[in-house]
A and B are shown apart, each in its own frame.
Chain A
Amino acid sequence: MSGLESQLPVLLVAVPLAGAALVAAVGHWVPRILADLTAIGVAAATAVGAVWLVVGLGSGRVVCWLGGWDPQPAGKDGSARESVGIALVADRWSAALAVVAAVVVLAGLLFTWRYFEETSATYHGLMLAFLAAMSGFVLAGDLFDAFVWFELMGAAGYALAGMRVEEPRSVHAALEFGVVNTLGCSFSLVGITLLYARTGELNLALVGERLHDRPPDALVGLTFALLLVAALVKAAVVPFHFWTADAEAAAPTPVCAVLSGAMVATGVYAVARWWWTLYDGVLSAALAEHLLLGLGTATALLGAVLCVCQRHVKRLLAYSTISHVGVALLGVGLLGPAGLTAALAYLLGHACTKGPLFLGTGVLLNQYGTVDEHALFGRARGHWLTLSVFVLGGLGLAGLPGLGLWWGKASLEHTLTTEHLAWLVAVVTVSGALTSSAVLRAAARIFFGLGADPRERAEETATEEHEEQGEVTRGVAALMLAPAWLLLALGIGLAVVPDLHRAGETAGEVFTDHHGYAAAVLRGASGAVHAEHHALWTGSSLALAAVALALSLVLAAAWLWGPPALGRTRVVGALRASVDALHGLHRADLTEQVGWLVLGSAVLAVVLGR
């Protein structure tokens, strides 16, 4: 790596930070158009830098010691080089997540260009700070540094989510989002403190190496449980997921796209990074695998079931995000290179599918002032532009070959079958089909007015909703949907470019190479990595995709034209009662969410802290 390339990881964090400070400083004095341009320019530059880093990395790692504190040269006996500085370690997968974060924030900023009338420069400053926090987190090679970027992600996220203070629901959701995430970060800080007490180090590689000096005991298990709490709260995994539906239903649309596209991905990434650098070979892999697979399954199914019975499109998409994060956690839970590649590819694809769906919903809200499926029944006929985003997004969620999620879903199903966990393949397929059917049902109702017209049944008055901004012409809608298509095109690129898949598998080997990571950071060595590649477009994966799509279409049809008689049968009645109970549970207020967080962390501590 040439001089500048070796400094790229720092630039990916420092440039957005400087941009945020600049926008915050001159925000008052310059016209808003300049703040827009600066923010979009900085986000675009970060995206380009991240892509350059991914391309330039090959199958190695870039270790960048900050503050000029390069560790002393490797000792004669090859002993670990130690330094007092902070290391940023970039391998291909962490750089790829930085690309996704930059692209999703860029799409949000481009969307905002025509979306908000009165935004101060603060919005742009917070979005850039959010971007810097995410790229800082995925590149951090230091435990406490990761904690600081987690908190910055939180601070910018709470302010952005609660930005529209005239909406009671958005400030309430932002407050719950804030309290739960800050508490999760406090739990992880206790974990970091205990790790520092045991090993005396903060660098991920050094801590991982010191943990091998003694047999693992309750302390090591407890630290992993506490670190997991912050990661799983950010990733919205059961039972820490209550804040997601409210925060993403009430936040402004571009913020929703960033939260569910990029931020949840950093939570799942955190679980993988901390396992492979700290606890691989220390804690029992079987225990961690069972725990993560259990959490992933519960999250995937719960998210999918609740997603289907939502009528508010953004809340529907929020529960679909929870479901897809659960599926990605299954990949990480396999604790293998192939599983990891599948999980991170799934997250990349999910960002390129869920982001456009949120932006499409934003256009609907912009034009009709509401995103309630029943209130919008048949009102958006003829809007082909927005319809295309919804259809592509909906089919993409089911894993249509060639769209964003195809790469992640196909390789995950392949890995699950080779690991003899065929029943998990069913979980993946069912949750994908459920979420996709919900989106297709919403699209069918809104754009075609199919199915029974709900407005006869419910006698609500057509309360004219407070619109986010004024009427929007077709041309403006096209401009606002351009970033959505950008993301969809990126998703298609992910699915069809074959050498991306091979590079991904090699990068998965590099990511999960515990000793290679320690060697690169501590001794500057870079070993060769061998990865076996498997074809993606195989008969079985295409068959599974066909099953998922068929199931999704059948379910969508069932929601739209399901005979009322079907509703009264005992089976559906019992099902509906259990779903209503689940729904009631999800009206947890702030104190209940904290209660669930404490109970969840206790379960993790008991399971891992044996």
Chain B
Amino acid sequence: MTDWILGLLVLLTAATATVVVLTRDPARQAAVLSAYGLMLALTMVALAAPDVALSQIGVGTAAVPLIVILAVARCERAVRASQADRAGRVGRPGDSAGDDQERERS
């Protein structure tokens, strides 16, 4: 019986990993990553590794996706700021790219 559960969990984990990789938008990817971390933790429990499952839940499901979301928020603002800066030529210092190339980027 437990063999079936373990086999199913491994297939689900592999499927979730594929979804994580195929999600191009990083903000949504963070949510799928959290689901993937949970699936990985469940597979570890099925593989009789409770310690590793506990640390995977703490890291893979909670901490890393939170950091990814915050990093995405900061990256999006930086990209928006540089586009605004380049488009409007508003000489706003700060997070616009250091290099002063004026060409409109594709």
Contact = CB atoms under 8 A, between A and B. Distances in A.
Whether chain A touches chain B in the assembled complex (some CB pair under 8 Å): yes
5 contacts: A166-B98, A167-B98, A168-B97, A168-B98, A168-B99
Interface string B31-58: 0000000000000000000000000000
A167 B99 CA distance: 10
B40 to A, nearest CB: 15
Interface in A140-170: 166-168
Contacts of B99: 168
A535 B99 CA distance: 56
Contacts of A167: 98
Interface of B: 97-99
Interface residues of A, number: 3
A168 B98 CA distance: 7
Interface of A: 166-168
A243 B79 CA distance: 25
Nearest to A168: B98
Contacts, number: 5
A54 to B, nearest CB: 40
The 5 A-B residue pairs with the shortest CB-CB distance, nearest first, are A168-B98, A168-B99, A168-B97, A166-B98, A167-B98
A166 B97 CA distance: 10
Nearest to A167: B98
Contacts of B97: 168
Nearest to B98: A168
Nearest to B99: A168
Nearest to A466: B98
B32 to A, nearest CB: 20
Contacts of A166: 98
Contacts of A168: 97-99
Nearest to A166: B98
Contacts of B98: 166-168
A466 to B, nearest CB: 9
A167 B98 CA distance: 8
A166 B93 CA distance: 13
A166 B95 CA distance: 10
A166 B94 CA distance: 11
A168 B99 CA distance: 8
A168 B97 CA distance: 8
A553 B23 CA distance: 56
A164 to B, nearest CB: 12
B26 to A, nearest CB: 15
A168 B82 CA distance: 14
A27 B97 CA distance: 31
B43 to A, nearest CB: 16
B28 to A, nearest CB: 21
A166 B98 CA distance: 8
B51 to A, nearest CB: 17
A554 B83 CA distance: 51
A369 to B, nearest CB: 15
